[in-house]
A and B are shown apart, each in its own frame.
Chain A
């Protein structure tokens, strides 16, 4: 696209272009992209589409984007980010699309189509995901010093974690309560398994399960954000991780206090 066409594009439908660019940022943030990646990607895209005086501010829960159009009009759009997960495939695709667009910007309609394609991209099926959960639980129970039998018990209770998350996730309740309930179900499964003679050490089995629940990755990335200078995002991440960890702890404690036996 030539420069004149670009200028025309950002003058004719600047709102739509800006909305598409913000969609890219939203996709990155909701799927586990870093805050600095969002800011970097958005400012590059805005520059590619011919906007001037680009100001992007992003924290983990919001994006604010203000630009000046070629005709001098100033535009601002914001996004509130509520749910966040990790889908690395999606981050890869958004990144690839952003590189492609920075080299050769496309009209809004095509931009929207490409975004839709990324949104529709398939994730792993539920059985594969469940196997992933079982695998993680099992290997980490052994990794942190459990026996192979503990690993087996952890794999089974890992499946419980997956299905509990699926069921409770449907109820759409408070995040904290959700984690509390999932942990309680998992603790129940661990206690029952040990009573049935599968697994010796409830602590090791639980650590295997907890690797799935505990915000270890969130905790580590928050620390990285803070060292990197994104202090607000880091603080949000750490507080969220702490609250989640407490919810999980209470969930486990509720069951174990009733059923006896230390964690």
Chain B
């Protein structure tokens, strides 16, 4: 139950950022679903023994894949869907505790949380690049087949 609420909240966070970033209309519903899916995948990975890096990477790849599909449904660049959908994955609490530690000059917590934030952001970045490359290959192949079939 706790996880269900967390997933719903994360998804609402996606919608909230989509509004602040000035996206309108039915897209908001897609972003809600995308955000929920991304966080659900993360929870699933972590509960099956994956570490944070792997979990975030898989979650990002799910988000990336949904954005690639969404981009073709709503006729807008991938970025438009990807930014809101990734919101629940962003290491907000790590960044918060990291800077809190910095101000209190608690070097140990600063290092632990800081490394964690950088690892998370790295995992997300890598996930994005992987899906971009993957979809590029897939769509090139599809286009090639399409052309040779004609």
Contact = CB atoms under 8 A, between A and B. Distances in A.
Interface of A: 32-34, 37, 86-92, 95-96, 123-124, 128-129, 131-133, 135-136, 139-140, 142-144, 206-207, 210-211, 214, 216-217, 219-220, 222-224, 226-228, 245-246, 248-250, 252-253, 262-263
Contacts of A87: 21-22
B13 A136 contact: yes
A140 B84 CA distance: 14
Given A33-B79, A206-B96, A249-B100, A140 B9 contact: yes
Interface in B90-117: 90-93, 95-96, 98-100, 102-104, 117
A107 B15 CA distance: 39
Interface residues of B, number: 47
A211 B92 contact: yes
A133 B15 CA distance: 11
Contacts, number: 141
A90 B22 contact: yes
User: Which 6 residue pairs across A and B have the least CB separation, nearest first?
Assistant: A249-B99, A223-B125, A136-B16, A132-B19, A216-B90, A253-B103
B29 interface: no
A171 B5 CA distance: 40
B129 interface: yes
B76 interface: yes
Interface of B: 5-6, 9-10, 12-13, 15-24, 75-77, 79-80, 83-84, 86-88, 90-93, 95-96, 98-100, 102-104, 117-118, 121-122, 124-126, 128-129
B35 to A, nearest CB: 10
Interface of B (DSSP majority class): helix
Given A132-B16, A133-B20, A210 B96 contact: yes
In the complex, which of the residues B18, B22, B92, B100 has the most CB atoms of chain A within 10 Å of its own CB atom?
A: B22
B76 A92 contact: yes
Contacts of B122: 223, 227
A148 B23 CA distance: 27
Interface of A (DSSP majority class): helix
A263 B96 CA distance: 10
Nearest to B92: A211
Given A210-B92, A263-B100, A143 B10 contact: yes
Contacts of B93: 144, 207
Given A142-B5, A223-B124, A224-B124, A245 B92 contact: no
A98 B101 CA distance: 46
Contacts of A144: 92-93
B121 A227 contact: no
Nearest to A254: B103
Contacts of A88: 18, 21-23, 79-80, 83-84
Contacts of B103: 249-250, 252-253, 263
A244 to B, nearest CB: 10
Contacts of B124: 220, 223-224
Contacts of A32: 21, 79, 83
Contacts of A86: 20-22, 83
Given A227-B126, A249-B99, A249-B100, A139 B16 contact: yes
Contact of A219 (B9, B18, B121): B121
A140 B87 CA distance: 10
A123 B100 contact: no
A227 B12 contact: no
B91 A216 contact: yes
Given A92-B77, A220-B86, A245-B95, A139 B20 contact: no
